[in-house]
Structures are given as C-alpha cells and as structure tokens.
Amino acid sequence: MIVWDMDLRRTMYEWEQIQFDEMVSCLGQVQLEEDANRLQWKWEKKGVFTVKTMYDQLRLRELTLEVSTSRFPCQIVWKKPLPLKIKLFFWTVILGRTQTVDNLITKGKIVFPICSMCKVSNETIPHLFLHYSKSLELWAYLIGHNSSLYANIFTADTVMEWLLAWPAGQSQPFSELLWKLLPYAIIWIIWKHRNEGIFKDKEINLRGMANEVKGVLWY
C-alpha cells in the first residue's frame, strides 16, 4: 500500500482541500509494477498513438462543449428586458465566472478567502447573493420573511436554480414585469454594494439597498 506524505507550506482553502482529496483518491488507485515505465495512449487498445483516435477525442470534446453551451438558460438572461451590462453580469453569474473571491483564488490571485461583507464564510456566488446574512435580510424585506418563496432560498444551491424557480407574478402587466425583474435588481444591488464596501469602504445599509432596488426597478 502506498501512502502519500504531502508536506504543504500553508493551510489549504476549502476548495483546494476538495481538489486535494480528489487527487489523493486518484493516486490511491495507482498500482505500481516492476516493469519499466513507458508512454501509453489510453484511447487506443494497444496504447499506441494514432491520428484517428486523437481526432475522435477532439471531436468528442467539441460536441460536448456544444451541448453544454446549448443548455445555457437563455430565458433567464438574454430574453429579459434588462440593460446589456446587467445581462452580461448575469451571464457571468450563471456561468460561475463572476469575480468573487473564490474565482479570483482559482485564477491564482492571492487574496483572503473570507467574504468581505460577513467576515465569516468563504465568498462564493451562492453565498454572496443568496445566503449571506444581509442578503437574506434584503430578500426577506422585499419578498416577505414568512413567505414560502423566501423559505425556498435556503434550498437553492445556485443563482440559476433560484431564478428558474422564481414564480409568476401579479395579473397586471406592469406589476408582473416588476415582479419578474425583482430578483435581478436585488442581486445587482448586492453586487454594487459589495464592491462599494471593498473599494470605497462603505457600510451596508439594508434600507438604503432596498430603496436602490426599488429605484432600479422603477427607472
């Protein structure tokens, strides 16, 4: 049995620990043999590289990418009556590419992983927009603390899941439109205030955020 002794220079972040455990699990499945090491092409039975198998693999990856791209929920981003910059922002949110701390760390940036707003949990997209305490207060303030909809936010793992589950609104056209756009306005204002807190050292004010959400919806 092989035991891997990893002497790391620092404590790992949560996302690193998950990847590390997966790596150790993969290494644990490796069986060393007495034979000399040699290169082997795993997509061909005899282990020999061929142009055909390489082409097949590249084509498979291309098709997989096309499928994943076609599954993007256009109805919750591109088909909404939103300004282009907000559509682009939500595009990054849905794809998980918004510049939250966890994504910056993944890109190799050396930053503190804890959320700058709550100072407790690691900053991720779901945490910031859905589960951070002040975000929850804002959602509760605008949709009702005792509503069944508010209770559902605790079970939403992603912003995409939350937006897809957002129910239909009032029967009046204008009221229905405001209701449909409410979650977008809330998330946009949370992002705005998060950035102002980091770059301008502004404090979070629930009533001020709620008023800005209403202002964004109205204008």
Query: Phi/psi at 166 (nearest 5 deg)?
Result: -65, 125
| One-letter amino acid for residue 157 of the chain | D
Q: Within the chain, how many helices (H) and strands (E) appear?
A: 10, 0
CA proximity to 162, closest of 132, 191, 131: 131
Quick: pLDDT tens for 71-118.
Answer: 788 899 999 999 999 999 999 999 999 999 999 998 888 889 999 888
**3-state DSSP percent of the chain in helix, strand and coil, to 5:** 60, 0, 40
Write the burial class of residue 154 (CB in 10 Å: 0-12 exposed, 13-18 middle, 19+ buried). exposed
By residue count, the chain amounts to: 219
Tokens of 149: 């909809």
**The overall pTM is greater than 0.85:** no
pLDDT tens readout for residues 115-172 = 988 889 999 999 999 999 999 999 999 998 878 899 999 999 999 999 999 998 766 7
Helix (H, G, I), strand (E, B) or coil at 158: coil
